[in-house]
């Protein structure tokens, strides 16, 4: 019997890691997620340790194992960590507001930071696999110190040495400057202005915030509030010590206004444009003369939007960055009010425990996303009917996660329709996403092949299709949460230095292909639906868009996964689902591209540098099971005529499967804004299984 202090509690997708003083018996889910036993050695009921020899055995074992680590409420939970710039915001907010995290949580956070420290140079980077930089190192250093780690503790000392050897913290990117200024260890003069009056601009101006990508909008909303209010931590003894530790010169002698555009070269990925620098200087001058009346009006206005976002998401908020800044805003406005405590309670939704310690996730989980893919992979095996309880629970999760209504006063708060959409994580979060809605539709329809399922009605599926239809952009593609609302040149104002493409929501191959697939599937189930003409037309436009962004070499670049294998998987599946002939030049070229990237070990493996550089970069070590899964799914979807590369890929996957049916966790596989990587720990169980299932159906046709 395996014992644990920590156990995952779930409720309608909400995930909270609970600590108990006394050790309790660990569930299969806890053992799987916390790696409480050597990976590959656990045997939940029905699993054994006889390694699979054939594709069919591999499928059965993979299904059996993964079905046993489904949570009680029907979803698959996993680690959605990776970025290193999130946890510091949470800890700094707790410190400033005086909200004390439980000691058990603090201990696990410290363990995480120490585990993830670069042992060679003592720093941290933008994400767990990135090179060390100032953003990562200064923020983790501050976090350790706020959690009580003394300055002379070896890990802290080493981190400080890294900072000092690289010029100190003055050259931290703007989001780091923001957090340090709130903590009172960076002067507000050292920041370019974050003008709150912007929020009062009318929507018909192309630069109005309502046109920005929702993540950018929802981060700069509370940031501009805090900047306007200059919400700053008290000058405690620890703050005074940090002022000494972070810099190589005397804090009081730093020329702060000269630091506004000082970004360390280790951190720089997206340099400011000249236009942005000119605007920043102008805004700097405006700051000195701004109207007090207008500022107050803007502060009240932004707080009303912050409150709306909090209430619509039950205080989860759209993402980890605005989550904690909104919490700070509520504290600034109301002190430790009931709303402040609603925020504090939802911090738990972002804190994820794993074998490396406790981190802040990039979202409140990836529940719906992972569950929708799992359902589709399971159905494609042809043996889902042997797992009725698992499939029924997955269907229930899908059912309760569909967003029931539009948000109130959508226009005022710049929200898109959400009735009928699926979110990425939970219904409480509720922000609709194009491709999550698409995967929700695809999996809801796929479940209809199982006689024991009480399926989601076609009316409700049509509500999802409606959201997709409304989200199609003028270019024929689909963006992530909303339509593309602003011009491309808005990107010239991107102030973030570390991310690409944050200003507006662009059309992506992933989102577009998923929407095409969902509508193609829907028209099979509802061929005489009143909107069928509209759907057909939308699919055609989508196909044109996908073809228009295919690269010369036949690939598509991925924006949310690493990288070309991910994008190309979507590109091919989208075209095939729409009915594109398999001998079309687009499909042939895409397959050729994939085959040209196959490695000697039979698999495919990309480095995260593919995303960063926007060119295919082979993984420095070996093939990766998830990249291999995507490449194989693509080739088989296109019915690639040569079976040999496919067989080599399948052999590679089987060779990597553990004897118990689980698969190893390899390199990080997700990404956002080209430069920051994010973990999808369930992908290792989903995509190899899905590829094996397709292989069996295509070539072996063996009943399992």
Ligand X SMILES: CC(C)=CCC[C@@H](C)[C@H]1CC[C@@]2(C)[C@@H]3CC[C@H]4C(C)(C)[C@@H](O)CC[C@@]45C[C@@]35CC[C@]12C
**Residues designated as active site:** 435
**Distance of closest approach, residue 431 Cβ to ligand X, in angstroms:** 9
Interface with ligand X (CB under 6 A), residue from 93, 480, 598, 667: 480
Q: Would you count residue 502 as binding ligand X (CB under 6 A)?
A: yes
Query: Helix, strand, or coil here: 8?
Result: strand
Interface with ligand X (CB under 6 A), residue from 138, 170, 219, 368: 219
Q: What's the half-sphere exposure (Cβ side, CA atoms, 13 Å) at 131? A: 7
Q: What are phi and psi of 124, to 5 degrees?
A: -135, 160
**Distance of closest approach, residue 407 Cβ to ligand X, in angstroms:** 17
Q: 456 vs 678, which CB is nearer to ligand X?
A: 678
Q: 199 vs 213, which CB is nearer to ligand X?
A: 213
Task: Show contacts with ligand X in window 236-295 (CB under 6 A).
Answer: none
Cα–Cα dist 222/303, whole Å: 8
Q: 30 vs 435, which CB is nearer to ligand X?
A: 435
Query: Helix, strand, or coil here: 248?
Result: coil
- CB-based contact 325:223 (threshold 8 Å): yes
Q: 429 vs 599, which CB is nearer to ligand X?
A: 429
**Distance of closest approach, residue 219 Cβ to ligand X, in angstroms:** 5
Cα–Cα dist 269/564, whole Å: 20
Burial 105-127 (b: 16+ CB within 10 A, else e): bbbbbbebbbebbbeebbbbbbb
**Distance of closest approach, residue 505 Cβ to ligand X, in angstroms:** 9
| Total residues in contact with ligand X, by rule CB under 6 A | 20
Q: Is the dihedral of CA 415, 417, 421, 427 positive or negative?
A: positive
Q: Would you count residue 433 as binding ligand X (CB under 6 A)?
A: yes
Q: 190 vs 432, which CB is nearer to ligand X?
A: 432
Tokens of 135: 């953003």
Q: Would you count residue 73 as binding ligand X (CB under 6 A)?
A: no
Q: How far is CA 562 from CA 360, 478, 569, 592, in A?
A: 21, 19, 11, 19
Tokens of 100: 């004390």
- CB-based contact 657:62 (threshold 8 Å): yes
Beta bridge partners of 8: 17
Q: 56 vs 425, which CB is nearer to ligand X?
A: 425
DSSP 260-325: TT---TTT-SBPPPHHHHHHHHHHHHHHHH--HHHHHHHHHHHHHHHHHHHHHTTT--SSHHHHHH
Interface with ligand X (CB under 6 A), residue from 436, 453, 468, 513: 436
- CB-based contact 398:456 (threshold 8 Å): yes
Query: Helix, strand, or coil here: 513?
Result: helix
Q: 63 vs 212, which CB is nearer to ligand X?
A: 212
Interface with ligand X (CB under 6 A), residue from 141, 331, 560, 569: 560
Task: Show contacts with ligand X in window 333-362 (CB under 6 A).
Answer: 362
Interface with ligand X (CB under 6 A), residue from 303, 340, 373, 499: 499
Within a 10 A sphere around the Cβ of 318, how many other Cβ atoms? 23
Interface with ligand X (CB under 6 A), residue from 402, 623, 628, 673: 673
Interface with ligand X (CB under 6 A), residue from 177, 215, 416, 684: 215
Query: Helix, strand, or coil here: 508?
Result: strand
Q: 186 vs 560, which CB is nearer to ligand X?
A: 560
Q: What are phi and psi of 351, to 5 degrees?
A: -85, 125
Q: What's the half-sphere exposure (Cβ side, CA atoms, 13 Å) at 373? A: 27
Q: 173 vs 362, which CB is nearer to ligand X?
A: 362
Q: 436 vs 578, which CB is nearer to ligand X?
A: 436
Q: 495 vs 688, which CB is nearer to ligand X?
A: 495
Which x/- pattern over 317-336 shows residues binding ligand X (rule: CB under 6 A)?
--x-x---------------
- Of the candidate spans 430-438, 465-473, 615-623, 690-698, the one that interacts with ligand X by CB under 6 A turns out to be 430-438
Query: Helix, strand, or coil here: 361?
Result: coil
**Distance of closest approach, residue 508 Cβ to ligand X, in angstroms:** 7
Cα–Cα dist 200/215, whole Å: 19
Task: Show contacts with ligand X in window 510-549 (CB under 6 A).
Answer: 510-511
Interface with ligand X (CB under 6 A), residue from 363, 422, 564, 663: 363
**Distance of closest approach, residue 439 Cβ to ligand X, in angstroms:** 8
Cα–Cα dist 11/400, whole Å: 11
Q: 52 vs 360, which CB is nearer to ligand X?
A: 360
Q: Would you count residue 506 as binding ligand X (CB under 6 A)?
A: no
Cα–Cα dist 175/675, whole Å: 15
Q: Would you count residue 674 as binding ligand X (CB under 6 A)?
A: no
- Of the candidate spans 228-236, 264-272, 384-392, 672-680, the one that interacts with ligand X by CB under 6 A turns out to be 672-680
DSSP 318-355: SSHHHHHHHHHHHHHHHSS-HHHHHHHHHGGGTEEEET
DSSP class of 25? E
**Distance of closest approach, residue 221 Cβ to ligand X, in angstroms:** 11
Within a 10 A sphere around the Cβ of 233, how many other Cβ atoms? 18
Interface with ligand X (CB under 6 A), residue from 373, 424, 522, 556: 424
**Distance of closest approach, residue 178 Cβ to ligand X, in angstroms:** 13
Tokens of 614: 């926007």
**Distance of closest approach, residue 52 Cβ to ligand X, in angstroms:** 30
**Distance of closest approach, residue 61 Cβ to ligand X, in angstroms:** 28
Number of residues that this document lists for the chain: 704
**Distance of closest approach, residue 514 Cβ to ligand X, in angstroms:** 7
3-class SS string, 634-700: HHHHCCCCCHHHHHHHHHHHHHHCCCCCCCCCCCCCEEECCCEEECCCCHHHHHHHHHHHHHHHHHH
**Distance of closest approach, residue 504 Cβ to ligand X, in angstroms:** 13
Interface ranges with ligand X (CB under 6 A): 215, 219, 319, 321, 362-363, 369, 424, 433, 435-436, 480, 499, 502, 510-511, 560, 672-673, 678
């Amino acid at each position: 019997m395996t014992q644990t202090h920590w156990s995952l509690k779930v409720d309608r997708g909400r995930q909270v890691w609970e600590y108990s003083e006394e050790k309790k018996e660990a569930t299969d889910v806890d053992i799987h997620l916390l790696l409480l036993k050597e990976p590959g050695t656990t045997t939940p009921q029905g699993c054994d340790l006889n390694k699979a020899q054939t594709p069919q055995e591999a499928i059965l074992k993979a299904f059996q194992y993964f079905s046993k680590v489904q949570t009680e409420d029907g979803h698959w939970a996993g680690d959605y960590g990776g970025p290193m710039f999130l946890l510091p915001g949470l800890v700094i907010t707790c410190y400033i507001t005086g909200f004390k995290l439980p000691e058990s949580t603090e201990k696990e956070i410290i363990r995480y930071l120490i585990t993830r420290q670069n042992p060679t140079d003592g720093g941290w980077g933008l994400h767990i696999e990135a090179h060390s930089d100032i953003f990562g190192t200064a923020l983790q250093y501050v976090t350790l110190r706020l959690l009580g780690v003394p300055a002379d503790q070896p890990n802290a000392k080493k981190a400080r040495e890294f900072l000092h050897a690289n010029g100190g913290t003055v050259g931290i990117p703007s989001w780091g400057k923001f957090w340090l200024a709130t903590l009172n260890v960076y002067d507000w003069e050292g920041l370019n202005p974050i003008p709150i009056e912007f929020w009062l601009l009318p929507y018909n101006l192309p630069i109005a915030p309502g046109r920005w990508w929702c993540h950018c909008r929802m981060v700069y909303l509370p940031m501009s509030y805090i900047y306007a209010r200059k919400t700053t931590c008290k000058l405690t003894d620890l703050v005074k010590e940090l002022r000494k530790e972070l810099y190589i010169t005397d804090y009081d002698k730093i020329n702060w206004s000269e630091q506004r555009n000082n970004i360390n070269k280790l951190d720089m990925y997206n340099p400011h444009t000249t236009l942005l620098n000119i605007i920043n200087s102008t805004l700097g001058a405006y700051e000195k003369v701004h109207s007090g009346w207008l500022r107050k009006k803007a502060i009240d206005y932004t707080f009303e939007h912050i409150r709306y976002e909090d209430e619509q998401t039950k205080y989860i908020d759209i993402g980890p960055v605005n989550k904690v800044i909104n919490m700070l805003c509520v504290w600034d406005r109301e002190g430790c009010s009931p709303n402040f405590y609603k925020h504090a309670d939802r911090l738990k939704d972002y804190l994820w425990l794993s074998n490396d310690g406790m981190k802040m996730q990039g979202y409140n989980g990836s529940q719906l996303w992972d569950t929708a893919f799992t359902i589709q992979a399971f159905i494609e095996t042809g043996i889902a009917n042997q797992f009725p309880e698992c499939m029924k629970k997955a269907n229930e999760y899908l059912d309760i996660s569909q967003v029931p209504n539009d948000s109130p006063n959508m226009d005022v708060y710049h929200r898109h329709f959400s009735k009928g959409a699926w979110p990425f994580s939970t219904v409480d979060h509720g922000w609709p996403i194009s491709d999550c809605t698409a995967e929700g539709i695809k999996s809801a329809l796929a479940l209809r092949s199982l006689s024991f399922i009480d399926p989601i009605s076609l009316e409700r599926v049509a509500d999802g299709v409606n959201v997709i239809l409304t989200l199609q952009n003028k270019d024929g593609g689909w963006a992530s949460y909303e339509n593309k609302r602003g011009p491309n040149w808005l990107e010239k104002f991107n102030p973030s230095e570390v991310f690409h493409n944050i200003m507006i929501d662009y059309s992506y191959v992933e989102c577009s292909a998923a929407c095409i697939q969902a509508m193609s599937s829907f028209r099979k189930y509802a061929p005489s639906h009143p909107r069928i003409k509209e759907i057909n037309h939308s699919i055609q436009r989508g196909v044109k868009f996908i073809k228009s962004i295919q690269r010369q070499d036949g690939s598509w670049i991925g924006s949310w996964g690493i990288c070309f294998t991910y994008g190309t998987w979507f590109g091919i599946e989208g075209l095939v689902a729409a009915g594109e002939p398999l001998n079309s030049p687009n499909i042939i070229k895409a397959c050729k591209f994939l085959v040209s990237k196959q490695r000697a070990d039979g698999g495919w493996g990309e480095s995260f540098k593919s995303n960063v550089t926007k060119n295919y970069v082979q993984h420095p070590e070996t093939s990766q099971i998830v990249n291999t899964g995507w490449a194989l799914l693509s080739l088989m979807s296109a019915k690639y005529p040569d079976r040999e590369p496919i067989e080599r890929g399948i052999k590679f996957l089987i060779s990597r499967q553990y004897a118990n049916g689980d698969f190893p966790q390899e390199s990080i596989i997700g990404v956002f804004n080209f430069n920051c990587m994010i973990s999808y720990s369930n992908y290792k169980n989903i995509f190899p299984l899905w590829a094996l299932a397709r292989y069996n159906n295509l070539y072996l046709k063996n009943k399992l």
